[in-house]
Amino acid sequence: MGKLATIPGADLAIKINAAHRTACVNARKSMEYAAECGRLLIEAKELVEHGEWLPWLEAHTEVSPRQSQRYMRLAENWAEIEPKATAESYLGIDGALRLLAKPKATPKPVTTVEYIVNGDEADEEETPGHHLPTRSPRLPTSRHGVGRDGAGR
């Protein structure tokens, strides 16, 4: 019989895989517990009078106001988060909250160019029939009133 090949570090690989599986399961469980905490916080908040939530939270729980907001947001959006919280996603609480964040709108740059037509300033509405190539854009002037091309105002 031939010798069986041994894999260097095979026992370490087994331990690595077991630790990885445990981390994945516990990351998911962490989110599930956070969402459950959020559901309970929502329920408690509905029981207290307006303006009494933060004093109640401070007096009766170990949860900070900011953390309670995060937990309640997870609970309120759990249906959206749960399908994305797979073992492979390593989503975590922060990642789940980032998923819920609305993308910041990037404003489109607006460029205004003044044109000089026959020596007078004009804009597009005032000069129908003229086309951009026939106009010269007004160059920005320096504080001395001289444009980049060296001409005065």
The domain segmentation of the chain, as residue ranges, is 10-100, 111-147
Q: What percent of the chain has pLDDT over 90?
A: 31
For 46-86, the pLDDT digits (tens) are 999 999 999 999 999 999 999 999 999 999 988 888 777 76
For residue 48, what are its two tokens?
Answer: 């207290």
- Closest C-alpha to 35, from 70, 83, 85, 84: 70
Kindly provide the residue ranges of all beta strands, DSSP E only, lying in 55-131, ordered along the sequence: 115-117, 120-122
Apex 31 CA angle, 92 and 91, nearest 5: 20
Q: Strands, DSSP E only, in 32-129?
A: 115-117, 120-122
What is residue 70's DSSP assignment?
H
